Amino acid sequence: MNNYTISIRPFGQHAILIEWPNIVDEAILEDILQFKTYLAKNFLFPEKWEIIPSYNSLTLVERNFPINFDVLKRNIKQWYSEKRAIKVKREKNLWRLPVCYDTDFGIDLEEVASKVNKSVEEVIALHSKKSYTIYGIGFLPGFMYLGGLPTDLEVSRREAPRQKVIKGAVGLAGKQTGIYPQQSPGGWNIIGNCPVSMFKATRENPIFVSVGDKVEFFAIERAEYNLRVIENEAGVYTIQKIKIDA
Amino acid sequence: MLKVLEQGLFTTLQDQGRFGFKDKGVPVSGSMDTYTTKAINTLLENASNAAVLEITMTGPTLEFKASTYLCIGGADFVVTLNKVPISLYKVYKVKIGDVLSYGKLNHGFRGYLAIKGGFKSTVILNSTSYYYPITKSRCIKKGEELNYEECQDFSPKISEIKISSILNKNELEIAKGPEYNLLNPLQIKQIFNTNFSVSNQNDRMAYQLQENIEGVNYSMLTSATLPGTIQLTPSGKLIILMKDGQTTGGYPRVLQLTDRAICILAQKKYGDTIRFKLV
């Protein structure tokens, strides 16, 4: 595994920020996640530490006590150089999520299609044929920042955000696509709806996706969508998951 | 059980929060003023994670359906137990049918009510702290009943304390944030020489300030944010994230509040003045 030049900076009394080069790159994300796994397994245990990966950074947060920045910085440098010699095994999954691109849900689908000079069918085909990478989870519980959008589908975010975007809405903005896990205000262009809850308190794993996982969308008709909503509510829908080697 | 006769403006259950789920986008939540909740839980000899009621600006009226002991703290409300005023940071015994009523707010913004053993509620992701839609409720509602275990007999080791109040403090201690170095001398001067006032955009997610400083245009990749992180927007707005704040952001994180400064700010309301001091 490559080792990158990392920078380590203080982030208040309880946290420290580690940054990789400032680019969106899957190899960098993989290095970050391997280091996260290595730290959580050997040094910074989950009872006391939160480790938050996102794009080109890891933020380490201590639960109760102030950290000693200089000591921790020295340790992190040491641990990062040790990790180079080791192949860290980590769990990585591909999630296949159904999306209904019916125009009842895809309220901006026609506008997006005309902006990118494609037909609605072409937009749907392009969106649902790619594997996306989860570069971060934030903004709302379970909201994924997905990278890997075909350049043909890049549209700027809407000029005026909507006050209300419904739960499950699948959106496009710039180089990103994603799913609103709950109703919220939002400025993304909405092209469909996913009937699977990205957050569900009663599910064994309330938020099943992790940073570094892959996501694919597949198109479903309205009738199947209605069925999946009921299954999802009842907790009997099995989310399609494929293990991949990291 | 504690019956909610009047719900108040925004009253929630809070413990120490949901630690361990920031990487899934789940805010930590928990008590905004941990300085106060630690004191009142300690007086009742509760576990430090015992759930308390956080009472914002206009308080509730509550009827006890089982005996217990209570202690209030934080903002200075006129609070009565069966119409007799009670004091902050003092343990009181309550019995079936007693009514606790929050009246006028004299000072501060968030009051806290702890009871012996803490309130019992559904634990989701290791916490009972209200945060919609992680929890079903946003806040307590009139007619609702909150659970707790009856306690007939408790002799507190200390039944009353005088704590140094944070309500009069308006100086917030801050550390440099990860993107502090983006600030130019003018912005630094503006930050440390301005008496800022809290805008009407203030809640458990974030506090915005009325006075803008010079903005910063810097494109950064989305990265983690914490309670107490101060973001600076391109238009020069300072946004201070609080306990329900989002876990990632794309604005430069120029400053970071200390734990104590978060508690001090949690007691500020629209129009109150604050200053920053670098530590």
Q: Give the mean model confidence (pLDDT) for residues B216-229.
A: 93
Q: Say yes or no for a CB contact (<8 Å) between B21 and A136.
A: no
Q: What are the pLDDT digits (tens) for B137-157?
A: 999 999 999 999 999 999 999
- Region at A8 (left for phi over 0; alpha for psi -120 to 50; beta for the rest): beta
Domain range for B135: 2-146
Residue A202 is predicted with a pLDDT of 82
- Asked whether residue B179 is domain-assigned, the answer is yes
User: Based on the structure, what is the number of domains in chain B?
Assistant: 2
Interval A162-195: pLDDT, tens: 999 999 999 999 999 999 999 999 999 999 999 9
Could you tell me the pLDDT band of residue B14, with boundaries at 50, 70 and 90? very high
Let me know: does A60 contact A39? Beta carbons within 8 Å.
Answer: yes
Model pLDDT, residue A204: 84
Provide the CATH number for the domain around residue B234: 2.40.100.10
Amino acid at site B145: E
Residues of CATH 3.30.1360.40 domain(s) within chain A?
A: 7-83
pLDDT, mean over chain A: 94
Across residues B174-193, what is the average pLDDT?
97
Indicate whether B219 and B253 sit together in one domain.
Answer: yes
B178 to chain A, closest Cα gap in Å: 6
Instruction: Kindly report the average pLDDT of chain B as a whole number.
Output: 96
**Cβ of A48 under 8 Å from any chain B Cβ?**
no
CATH assignment, A7-83: 3.30.1360.40
Window 184-243 of A: residues touching B by CB (8 A cutoff) are 199, 201, 206-207, 209-211
Instruction: Determine, for residues A22 and B221 on separate chains, whether the beta-carbon distance falls below 8 Å.
Output: yes
Residue A87, pLDDT score: 81
Say yes or no for a CB contact (<8 Å) between A24 and B221. Answer: yes
B189 and B141 part of one domain? no
CATH 2.40.100.10 domain span(s) along chain A: 92-244
E strand residue ranges, chain A: 7-11, 15-19, 49-54, 57-62, 92-100, 131-137, 144-147, 162-165, 169-173, 176-179, 184-186, 189-193, 214-220, 240-244
**A177 to chain B, closest Cα gap in Å:** 14
Dihedral of alpha carbons B247, B18, B202, B162, sign: negative
B93 belongs to a structural domain: yes
Would you state the pLDDT for residue A159? 84
pLDDT at A5: 95
Q: Flag whether pLDDT at A245 surpasses 80.
A: no
Percent of chain A with pLDDT over 70: 99
ipTM: 0.93
> Residue A2 above 80 pLDDT?
no
pLDDT per residue over A139-152, tens digit each?
Answer: 899 999 999 999 99
- Whether residue A246 is predicted with pLDDT greater than 70 in this model: the reply is no
* CATH for the stretch A92-244: 2.40.100.10
**Domain-located, residue B158:** no
A13/B259 touch (CB, cutoff 8 Å), yes or no: yes
- A156 DSSP 8-state letter: P
Distances (CA, A) of B278 to A3, A11, B180: 35, 14, 12
Check CB contact of B94 with chain A, cutoff 8 Å: no
The pLDDT value given to residue A1: 55
| Per-residue CA distances from B153 to B15, B44, B92, B146 (Å) | 24, 12, 12, 21
Q: Write out B5-56 in H/E/C secondary structure.
A: EECCCEEEEECCCCCCCHHHCCCCCCCCCHHHHHHHHHHCCCCCCCEEEEEE
Judge: A55–B226 Cβ closer than 8 Å, yes or no: no
Instruction: Pick the residue of B222, B260, B263 with the most A CBs within 10 A to test the interface with A by mutation.
Output: B222
Residue B173's identity, in one-letter code, is E
Q: What is the pLDDT of residues A183-238, one digit of tens each?
A: 999 999 999 999 999 999 888 889 999 999 999 999 999 999 999 999 999 999 99
Say yes or no: B142 and B273 in one domain.
no
Cβ <8 Å between B221 and A11: no
